[in-house]
A and B are shown apart, each in its own frame.
Chain A
């Protein structure tokens, strides 16, 4: 892959900002364009996930169409949609677009306003579902049910414990304490975790991410765009968007052959680097257990070993062998929905993490996004 991430930006992030999604995207996009050293006239591509969606409220209130108009862009290429390798799939698509010569500088964005609009009573619930959703969305009321059942199976097969799972939430929270933009920053103890309110076994409220308002944007540029840019871009070393089993929350061979495993294998096949070379891991934790299975899929531990790997949290601490979610993940820094992990990897590789900066000048970062059938990952190398 010969694409780089030349700029990144975020809007203000909060539980209830009361601002429009479009306003948040414009703030993040302008920050990313300035960070890259470009102007709006340089942006000739636009990519987003998942595009405009009416349900659930605040999931994606604006798509590419409104944003290109608001920013007055003159585009050679654009794309937006949810049928992609999870949220980061929209950035992978942008990388392929610049490699193919379809555009030179692609603005990628993801916006959520689920914090302000979380009272779902505001809109009537859908009365029917179709496609693959009919097989799962008819049953259960939340991803906590679908992901909870996968976690329960992991507990059954491998002896994973709640204390082990709790290491994800505790580590995120400890790191969020160092991130001024995080939502929840107060320390969390294992007793707090074990006594927290159960949502759907084995997942408690602390295993579920926090709905927020906020937008994240990146500029994906062609690798030889150096002269256009303020500074060399962070290199997209390899991407993973493979999926080999059914697109489904319940049809997969077993817990070691999920779409996450396909995506991770494809990513590693595109690089000489190996998991031992990774300096910082930004791993999707929309539900805590998803981070556990990503750690296995990405090869940081063996099949079924993620419980023992994260137990106690030392290994995945900022000064551990695999610094994990320095920003606090979606559990503590808010559901920026996938893009937050890529943003943090970029910040860390730029050395701009402030108090939460991983020591030793990190060179290689892995980013994973998605859960269930949604899976996409990326390996980034510092400029």
Chain B
């Protein structure tokens, strides 16, 4: 078993806009599931950044980006240009 490089392009399969303040610091976020272009049914879970909740649509194109946190680069999703499926 080994990692395989993918394009980072995908489609938003679904999401949930978290509005409850779990940690007391006022953090809200969009938890998202993206289906990768390479394979139907292959999805990643990540936070969706750079899209306001009103503009998030299932089926919109997204692209993987990376965000540093505590010295680790975590994948996040961003809205992308391109055809929506």
A residues contacting B by CB (< 8 A) are 135-136, 138-142, 144-146, 148-153, 156, 197-203, 205, 249-254
Partner of A250, one of B18, B44, B47, B74: B44
A250 to B46, CA, bound (A): 11
B4 to chain A, nearest CB (A): 15
Tell whether A149 pairs with B16 under 8 Å between CB atoms, given A140-B31, A142-B22, A250-B33.
yes
Tell whether A141 pairs with B42 under 8 Å between CB atoms, given A152-B58, A153-B58, A199-B18.
no
**A145 surroundings in chain B (CB, below 8 A):** 16, 18, 31
CB <8 Å contact, A253 and B41: yes
A156 to chain B, nearest CB (A): 5
In the complex, which residue of chain B has the Cβ closest to the Cβ of A203?
B16
A141 to B32, CA, bound (A): 13
Name the 4 nearest CB pairs between A and B, nearest first: A148-B16, A153-B14, A145-B31, A200-B18
B46 to chain A, nearest CB (A): 6
In the complex, which residue of chain B has the Cβ closest to the Cβ of A147?
B16
**B1 surroundings in chain A (CB, below 8 A):** none
A8 to chain B, nearest CB (A): 35
CB <8 Å contact, B16 and A135: no
For the complex, is B6 an interface residue (Cβ under 8 Å from A)? no
Tell whether A198 pairs with B20 under 8 Å between CB atoms, given A145-B31, A252-B41.
yes
A122 to chain B, nearest CB (A): 15
Chain B interface category by residue count: 20 to 34
**B29 surroundings in chain A (CB, below 8 A):** 140
CB <8 Å contact, A199 and B19: yes
**A135 surroundings in chain B (CB, below 8 A):** 44-45
CB <8 Å contact, B31 and A199: no
The digit string for B43-63, where 1 denotes a CB below 8 A from any CB of A, is 111110000010000100000
**B31 surroundings in chain A (CB, below 8 A):** 139-140, 145-146, 148-149, 200
B11 to chain A, nearest CB (A): 12
CB <8 Å contact, A138 and B16: no
In the complex, which residue of chain A has the Cβ closest to the Cβ of B22?
A141
**A141 surroundings in chain B (CB, below 8 A):** 18, 22-23
CB <8 Å contact, B17 and A250: no
Tell whether A140 pairs with B45 under 8 Å between CB atoms, given A149-B31, A152-B16.
yes
Partner of B19, one of A198, A252, A253: A198
CB <8 Å contact, B20 and A153: no
Which of A142, A145, A152 lies at the interface centre, i.e. has the most chain B CB atoms within 10 A of its CB? A145
**A156 surroundings in chain B (CB, below 8 A):** 14, 58
Tell whether A140 pairs with B18 under 8 Å between CB atoms, given A146-B31, A153-B13, A200-B31.
yes
CB <8 Å contact, A251 and B42: yes
Tell whether A200 pairs with B19 under 8 Å between CB atoms, given A149-B31, A153-B58.
yes
**B19 surroundings in chain A (CB, below 8 A):** 198-201
A249 to B47, CA, bound (A): 15
